[in-house]
Structure 1
Amino acid sequence: MTTTESASADVLDDLDWWTRPVAERDRLFARLRAENPRPHVPERDLTGRPRGAGFWALTRLDDIREVSKRPDDFCSGEGINIFDQPPRLKQYRGSFIDMDNPEHARQRRIVSRGFTAKALEALRDDITRTSHEIIGSVADRGECDFVTDIAALLPLRIVNNMMGIPRSQERYIFDQTNIIMAASDPEYVADQTPRGIARAVNAAGEGLAGLLAELARDRVDNPRDDLITALVAARDDDNLTPDELAAFFILLVGAGNETTRNAIAHGLLALTRFPAQRALWQSDPGTHTARAVEELVRWSSPVLHMRRTVTRDGVRLGDQEFAKGDKVVLWYRSANQDEQYFTDPTAFDITREPNPHVTFGSPGPHHCLGANLARLELSVAFRTLFELLPDIHATGEPDLLRSNFLHGIKHLRAEFTPRAVA
């Protein structure tokens, strides 16, 4: 395996390299920001062989902000992943985040009904109750797999509650979204050939789409006080179709859950590796939680990149000119460590201010609609951890996801003093 000290930017599309220690990728990004901030990188297929014309890797915060504000020059509709997905696969991995206007604006406007300040505040009690339920369920054990027992389950259950999905479907949804979002990891899809991955993702997507279509039809006939009803059965307004609802649901429980789930998992690592910051946060959660959450999502960077595609010849970014069809990849992980904006960027510092991270995307039409839901979930989750499992800590190294799209942790052992929780 290539080491960072000798690696070029070519490893950015080498999935095996992304299972190496996190410090290696951070050193590479630091060198690129300093010496070659927009390298051209060969694109690789699942077997590691070159394919296509490659992509431009953007590593500095200023470039990523600029591209994000110019959707007419750098579009999302050609795909948000480095590789070009077949239309059938794209149907289950995108929703409106890989659309351009006017359809992007239409679907975003409909979906925003569930993410108003009033709607999110109404969720606070359920998020608190769910956090106590899940964290309390392991409290008497003294140890757990922090990812599968807490970090992954908590945001999934919250979203299912929002949508009005029966608890009986929780495990099925957990397994299928793992396949869709983590298809490049053999733990979730054993057959890592292109045909094997496509077959697995299609089957998972069709299963979830069928479930959501059934629920959508029910809500049209029998409206309830849940998000599915708000999106498909609002009276005197435009609504999502059942297919659009299915794609949005996969986005929400897939990409949305992955962001929160991985931020929670990395958060336990941060608490373990930076004990002084942990002590400060725990000493006064009311004062420190808001800034701690911003630092947590910067430090963890749960989504590593998003792609944009150049819409015409002659588009410029600074002194560089692009051609129509060029792929540019926005490396959020690198931008969140840009030395021009972040002092000691690999450190976890809950007093960091300002903190202009791009974890939820840079300001622009594709800024994450669920950002405030993620902030609320993280705030409640860590305050609940401090309350119920105040000495919880990670033991050993995280088992990293084989992906250059999600900064995922598959498993993380944790220990704590056992206690009974009602």
Structure 2
Amino acid sequence: MSPIVEPRLADLDFWARPQAERDELFAALRAAPAPVFCPRPDGPGFYALTRYDQVAEASRHPEIFSSEPTAVGLDDPPPSSVRPAGSMISLDDPRHARLRRIVSRSFTPRTVRRLAGDVAALAAGIVDGLAERGPCDFVEHVATPMPLRVICTMMGIPESEYAAVVDATEVILALGDPGYVDAGGRDRATALKEKFAYLHSLVSELARLRRVRPADDLVTALTQADVDGEALTDVELARFFALLVVAGNETTRNALSHALVLLTGHPDQRSVLMSDLEGRLPGAVEEIVRLATPVIWMRRTLVRDHELGGHPYRAGDRVIMYYASANRDEAVFGDPCAFDITRTPNPHVGFGAPGPHFCLGAHLARREVTVLLRELFTRLPDLHATAPPVRQRSSFINGVRSLACAF
């Protein structure tokens, strides 16, 4: 059977269309009887995996669906570029497994629980500032500072670098999309190289200092980590930090921003939440992550011929796992486009599907979103968005650039 050709998924303008329009297209693609192929005018096309079962199978079988040479770009990175692929997200085993073993001890549920006091104090400080400031941009003053301060505090990054770190993460993620035009007129490769080089140099210098003068932070722990006689090299540490700040800052801040959008637009669900804030928050966080799906997709490349869903794919084929579509799959979620904080079970793939690349920071992200929402709606129970969100122009990140709020 010939594949269905769907060019819109490779068109950046499609991702600026209303959510309902995108939902309608993905529903049609999930129901399609044949594979969905997305041609690109300026590079190799790809197959779209839109159903939950497709995304789950590809995620569970990295020996077939490879994360190399990149999991985060439609194009292969040039060999000479500074690549996020040096981090775990774009590596396969055994290199992926080695790196994950070394860093995973810093992201266990037990470790995150030890951070609870720091996270709560940061959330309280952010809400203090919001209460004093009054109506403002929720993204700038609430959603962005929370994950940024948590991650930079964990790593031991000085506060003087926070603004530059945020700028680097925004540029890196924006440049993941074809058609992005850099404000300074730089080409994509140059801009990416500059921002990754900044993040790498920042943590490399901090690592050098921590080897001489250890502190109670993640950089010290990772420079001393030794698993089976192995520790992170300076390059591996720098690349891990770049992945952590990009993934941790952008995805958590967008989950928080979407939380306010959803709770403003669904007063019935807000009432359910406020009737039992402590009891309903865990379910609300999972439903927010499901509907928001901050990371829309990840790429895989087939290393050998394989049949998926009864259809053949060939070695070298590129496939995009659309988490945003899998999280609205009618076969898994009843009334999938509805916002329902009581939804159970809720096996969403907002942190990736089960498999070796499931998000290492999922426990931390859940903690941050939960703690900040608890603080916000305990102290400012009528907090709401006062205008529609200004969305980020991206097919990769479901981002909110600004969101006016008041209380």
Cα 1:38–1:280 shift into 2, 3 Å: same
- 1:178–1:188 Cα contact (<8 Å) kept: no
Please say if 1:326 is aligned against 2:323. no
Q: Name which of 21, 25, 30 aligns with 1:24.
A: 21
Matched pairs, number: 401
Change (3 A) 1:93 1:169: farther
Find the partner of 1:190 among 183, 198, 205: 183
Q: Which runs of 5+ in 2 are unaligned?
A: none
Report the alpha carbon displacement of residue 262 of structure 1 after superposing the two structures with TM. 0.6
Deviation of the 1:78 alpha carbon: 2.0
SS of equivalent residue, structure 1 residue 229: helix
Question: Does the Cα contact within 8 Å between 2:263 and 2:269 map onto a contact in 1?
Answer: yes
Q: 1-side partners of 2:260 and 2:161: how far apart?
A: 28
The answer to whether the aligner puts 1:84 opposite 2:76 as a matched pair is: yes
In 1, Cα distance between equivalents of 2:199 and 2:191: 12
1:185 to 1:381, Cα distance in 2 relative to 1, 3 A: farther
Alignment partner of 1:378 out of 369, 373, 398:
369
Q: What is the CA-CA distance between 1:171 and the residue it aligns to?
A: 1.0
Q: Which amino acid aligns with 1:65?
A: A
Matched with 1:14 is 11
In structure 1, what is the equivalent of residue 39 of structure 2?
42
Identify the residue that residue 172 of structure 2 maps to in structure 1: 180
CA distance in 1, matches of 2:80, 2:243: 15
CA–CA distance in structure 2, aligned partners of residues 76 and 243 of structure 1:
20
1:4 alignment partner in structure 2: none
Residue number among 161, 175, 195 corresponding to 1:204 in the alignment: 195
Task: Note the 1:107-146 alignment, pairs <5 A.
Answer: 107-146=99-138
SS of equivalent residue, structure 1 residue 138: helix
Moved more, 137-146 or 161-170: 137-146
For 1:274, which of 246, 261, 266 is the aligned residue? 266
Structure 1, residues 118-148: CA drift from partner, whole Å, max 9, x if none? Answer: 2111111111110111122121232111111
2:12–2:179 Cα contact (<8 Å) kept: no
Q: How far did 1:188 drift?
A: 8.6
Q: Residue type matched to 2:264 in 1? A: T
Identity of aligned residues (%): 47
CA deviation digits over 1:163-192, x for unaligned, max 9? 111111111111111111222499993257
Aligned to 2:145: 153
Higher mean C-alpha deviation, range 215-224 or range 84-93: 84-93
Instruction: Provide Cα deviations, 1:209-237, integer angstroms capped at 9, x if missing partner.
Output: 11111001111111111111111123684
Measure, in 2, the Cα distance between the counterparts of 1:285 and 1:8.
Answer: 46
Show the 5 A alignment for 1:20-419: 20-36=17-33, 38-43=35-40, 49-52=41-44, 54-80=45-71, 81-89=73-81, 91-92=83-84, 95-183=87-175, 184=177, 189-190=182-183, 196-234=187-225, 237-312=229-304, 314-416=305-407
Could you say what secondary structure the match of 2:38 adopts? strand
> Cα–Cα, structure 1 residues 36 and 385, in superposed 2: closer, same or farther, change >3 Å?
farther
Deviation at residue 23 of structure 1 after TM alignment: 1.7
Aligned-residue offset at 1:381: 1.0
Aligned partners of 2:395 and 2:81: how far apart in 1?
18
Deviates most, 153-162 or 390-399: 390-399
Q: Secondary structure at the match of 2:131?
A: coil
Letter in 2 for 1:22: Q
* TM-score when normalising by structure 2: 0.94
Please give the secondary structure, in 2, of the residue aligned with 1:137: helix
Using the alignment, how far apart are the partners of 2:325 and 2:102 within structure 1? Answer: 33
* Whole-angstrom CA distance in 1 between matches of 2:178 and 2:256: 20
**Whole-Å separation in 2 of the counterparts to 1:257 and 1:51:** 30
How big is each residue's C-alpha offset from its partner over 1:225-254, in whole Å with a ceiling of 9 and x where there is no partner?
111111112368422112111111111110
Task: Give the SS at the match of 2:312.
Answer: strand
Is the Cα contact below 8 Å between 2:225 and 2:232 reproduced in 1? no
